[in-house]
Structure 1
């Protein structure tokens, strides 16, 4: 069994192992895990709670004996299913919460098969410390360029196209699984936890070349329920800002396309409109509900932008103090226009 000490977030890109196995409980894994890790819990949540209760209320010996039996059964199940087709030269890297008994027990069994097993020194806690150091204790070294523009200017689509053209981008909304604003969460989807978001963000930043500019979409310091680390938010506020501009009708058409998943569900659409009630007069909310009932989605999008989103967006901190370094204007936001805008921006980034 080989013990592996992680020294930076970027270490996960060069680990000499075939697979990373998180042996913690499903709830621990769901909260956060190393990028690409699979979950083969040696104790599930209910089993972990039972062992912990015996450990505290009866004896350490009984708890360890009970836990050992559970671990053996769960590892056997994993060997007969997920790991059943692994070859003789398989190299798994195992970790638990702090690199202790759980990962050690699993590694011992896997090692007896003949596999070259590694265990992460310090477990998930060591990974979490690296993420916190990268995001909260280290200034952002990347040359950020902020892509700004009113709601409906297809910024996310442009960001994606720039990436396809070879530009460096940081897709915060993609990492947060949220399209911004109260309409941003896709129906039925959930955002990652704060810790999970931070792990994904730290990995995304570590993959970027700090000598090349990085395009990032203008955001507030929150995306849905998730918070941006202060160092990144500060770097975004200080970064040069470029802006996409388009007329309201083009933006309304774009939003109708982009949020078709929301408009396809009348109950969901009305719930999103109702959530704006604390910010708008009752008559305005009623008018928006009426447009939704009529299926007048482009007029609804235009009303939402002119009466709610544009005035609020104009007050964001990223917009105050300095004008945009450059404005990219388009009369339409169809696929060809988005391609052209992305090409211009990619050329500017170099």
Structure 2
């Protein structure tokens, strides 16, 4: 683990993470056995309720304040021609979020979810990690801490999202550093790169990981050298959610790069998380396999901004409603199995 003081507090929190509530899970299973259905008939919906109960530490889990939190940052690596869109699009999209015009706005409105958007120094992009570490240690640690604080407000289900031109390049570099293989194994087309742009992106990831390789044995160093501010903030939010016993739905390729940092430190650090959906971007399916997580949805979505996982809020709410409001055999006057 890192001996750099800015990250020591996070390492301590990871070692002290609360675990699931066996008592709450037992209570859910006892009620489920009395509901008017055959055992297991609701499939993963039953698993979702158990997961919620375990991490909310509630015998009757609730979804009353689902919240989507989107972090936005800009990346110096865009200087390498890794995106067909300019960095100015990040700020323009934030205005679109504020005006209610993005996809995630519509999805949140559909499920009654709150939406918070945080701008992370967009006028000061991270450094081009092909030439230098993206962030210094204290900047990175401060951003992780900001992400921890940003989830305050009483959410009972957290969905994480991101916005940042160039951030799929950063995510690919993180995966390449953590998991090895060829850079091309992890790189996707992002916001629609042509073949020439894809080659530039692969080259940027290769050069960045080669440049920083001596320091990439520590996951925090992987984050600060190859990550972005939004990725650091999301890592902090996932960690804080665990401390606050808030279940988390992970979005796609970029969000999972933040999760991958914590997973590399301690695989159990993602036990309070479910994969909201499967993205076709890059090697997201391989990443979820490494996490041991099966996505709730597979709709070919690769928009980011938390949209895929936000859509899965509806499944979670339906699971809770079935468990809470279905009649029992006794109350409905239906014969149970002999």
Identify the TM-score tier after normalising by the shorter chain.
Answer: under 0.3
Larger Rg: 1
TM value normalised by structure 1 = 0.26
Which has a greater percent of strand? Answer: 1
What TM-score do the two structures reach when normalised by structure 2?
Answer: 0.27
Q: Which has the higher contact order (CA 8 A, sep 6+)?
A: 2
